[in-house]
Amino acid sequence: MDDSSFFMPGSGQTAVVLTIVLAFAGYLVTFWSTRMMARRADRLRLVNQRLNEFYGPLYVATVTGNIAYKALLQKQGKTQCHPIRDKDLPEWILWMKSIFMPLNDVREKIIIENAHLIVEEEMPQCLLDFVTHVVGYKAMLSKWAEGDYTERRSMIGWPPEFDIYVERSYRALKAEQTRLLHNALWRWWRRLTKRKAKELAGN
């Protein structure tokens, strides 16, 4: 028998080789797609965690604080809180104790307890500046509790980059979350895994 007949179209050997090649190619496609989906799932879990435990609550508290601050300024007919006039002091104390400091405490707690979820490799300076700003207000409120109102604002100023950082990071993560959730291949993978889970649960 001619050895070249092994490679002739239609021969049994050729069919076997093609079957093996196609099976191996299918295995590679499945392997790489599974690996890629696993990485995507891990990434989505991290993005969700960052949104749920850090940037989401931080963003909501920051937006709420800004709205409240602007409302107070509008009520007092001012464009900025400084200087805090004597006639504005009672209301300033009320809003600081009941609104601004509770929101500051929430944000400080998020930053300190969930610092491992920040996007950057190093802690952004504006977050450190914010915590320091809050510490200054805590010292001031302690004086207020003793009846000393000579200080009316934190000695450590508000970091202007803080609001920008929080909003930018939150929106970037939401965009990434949407992209991960709406990818066509990801949706197919989710349907497949859910179907397998139901099949296993039914057995």
Lowest mean pLDDT across 46-50, 98-102, 176-180? 176-180
Structure tokens at 120: 């950057």
Angstrom distance (rounded) from CA 166 to CA 44: 20
**pLDDT at 50 (0 to 100):** 97
Angstrom distance (rounded) from CA 203 to CA 199: 6
Tell whether the model's pLDDT for residue 70 goes beyond 50: yes
DSSP helix/strand/coil, 48? helix
Mean pLDDT estimate for the chain = 85
Most confident residue range from 7-21, 27-41, 160-174, 181-195: 160-174
Confidence band, pLDDT 50/70/90 cuts, at residue 6: very low
Residues near 131 by beta carbon (within 8 Å), at least 6 away in sequence: 108, 111, 112
Residues near 48 by beta carbon (within 8 Å), at least 6 away in sequence: 177
Task: Classify residue 183 as exposed, middle or buried by CB count within 10 Å of its CB (0-12, 13-18, 19+).
Answer: middle
User: How many other C-beta atoms lie within 10 A of the C-beta of residue 96?
Assistant: 22
User: How many other C-beta atoms lie within 10 A of the C-beta of residue 102?
Assistant: 13
**pLDDT at 24 (0 to 100):** 59
- Write the pLDDT tens digit of every residue in 14-61: 777 777 766 656 655 554 556 666 778 889 999 999 999 999 999 999
- For the entire predicted model, the pTM comes to 0.74
Tell whether the model's pLDDT for residue 185 goes beyond 60: no
What are the C-alpha distances in Å from 76 to residues 89, 137, 141, 157? Answer: 11, 21, 22, 21
What are the C-alpha distances in Å from 65 to residues 114, 122, 142, 166? Answer: 20, 26, 21, 13
Which residue has tokens 């239609």? Answer: 10
**pLDDT at 147 (0 to 100):** 94
Structure tokens at 131: 């915590």
Between 80 and 92, where is the model more confident? Answer: 92
What are the C-alpha distances in Å from 114 to residues 54, 57, 126, 185, 196? Answer: 6, 11, 16, 32, 35
Beta strand extents in 57-130 (DSSP E only): none
Structure tokens at 121: 């490799």
Structure tokens at 12: 């049994």
Amino acid identity of 200?
L
